[in-house]
């Protein structure tokens, strides 16, 4: 079996990406401190045509060399916006008809496996700080809390790993559920 060359992958150009129909999915980064994590989230968002990323609080913004290193150009394709207060974004997303979901370990959280948005539903997921997680007031404001169940000794995943899993999962659920 031969690996495909990059030219054979039939990827969109930057302009084609910007004009393409997007997945009805928004990512909100709530005080994410690692610039490498931010860049990696951009890259995963590009892979699955995420509509937009909101960078909130202390979350760094492009252009920055450490974001660029992991984003590999995705900051030029994926729409993004910086807002100081995460709660302002959550309130705006509610008004725009998004189902807001904190990705967090919390009482009564649904597992990602059991979280089933309706096909085509607009979904916004909030990922939090690497140490403190999603702010409690943001968790309280979200319509759902979704957890990635884990079975080893560690209690959390890296933000960029978690984002990649969630984006991949929701991309398929949003396009395959009836």
Domains of the chain (ranges, CATH numbers):
18-176 (3.40.1280.10)
Collapsed DSSP state (helix, strand, coil) of residue 158: coil
Task: Indicate the pTM of the whole model.
Answer: 0.96
**Which residues have CB under 8 Å from 134's CB, separation 6+?**
30, 102, 103, 104, 126, 127, 128, 142
Q: In Å, how far are 59, 91, 116, 176 from 139, measured between CA atoms?
A: 18, 12, 19, 27
113 pLDDT higher than 50: yes
Kindly state the percentage of the chain with pLDDT values over 90.
96
| pLDDT at residue 17 tops 80 | yes
Give the relative orientation of helices 35-47 and 159-176 as an angle to the nearest 10 degrees: 20
What is the mean pLDDT of the segment spanning 135-140? 98
pLDDT(25) > 90: yes
Q: What average pLDDT score do residues 30-43 get?
A: 98
Average of pLDDT values for 98-114? 97
Q: Give yes or no for residue 148 having a pLDDT over 80.
A: yes
Assess whether pLDDT exceeds 90 at residue 30. yes
Q: pLDDT value at position 177?
A: 53
Alpha-carbon distance of 70 to 106, in angstroms, equals 30
Q: Is pLDDT at 178 greater than 80 in this prediction?
A: no
DSSP 122: -
Region of 57 on the Ramachandran plot (φ > 0 left; ψ -120 to 50 alpha; else beta) = left
Mean pLDDT for the stretch of residues 154-169: 96
Q: How confident is the model at residue 35 (pLDDT cuts 50, 70, 90)?
A: very high
Instruction: Answer whether residue 120 shows pLDDT above 90.
Output: no
């Amino acid at each position: 079996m031969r690996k495909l060359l990059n030219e054979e992958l039939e990827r969109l150009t930057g302009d084609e990406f910007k004009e393409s129909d997007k997945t009805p999915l928004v990512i909100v980064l709530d005080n994410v401190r690692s610039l490498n994590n931010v860049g990696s989230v951009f890259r995963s968002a590009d892979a699955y045509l995420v509509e937009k990323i909101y960078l909130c609080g202390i979350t760094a913004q492009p252009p920055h060399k450490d974001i660029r290193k992991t984003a590999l150009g995705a900051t030029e394709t994926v729409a993004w916006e910086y807002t100081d207060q995460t709660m302002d974004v959550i309130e705006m997303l509610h008004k725009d008809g998004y189902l807001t979901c904190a990705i967090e370990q919390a009482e009564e959280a649904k597992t990602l496996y059991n979280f089933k948005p309706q096909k085509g539903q607009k979904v916004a997921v909030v990922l939090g700080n690497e140490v403190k997680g999603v702010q409690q007031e943001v968790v309280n404001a979200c319509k759902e809390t979704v957890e990635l169940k884990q079975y080893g000794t560690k209690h959390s995943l890296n933000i960029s790993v978690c984002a990649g899993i969630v984006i991949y999962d929701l991309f398929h659920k949003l396009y395959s559920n009836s």
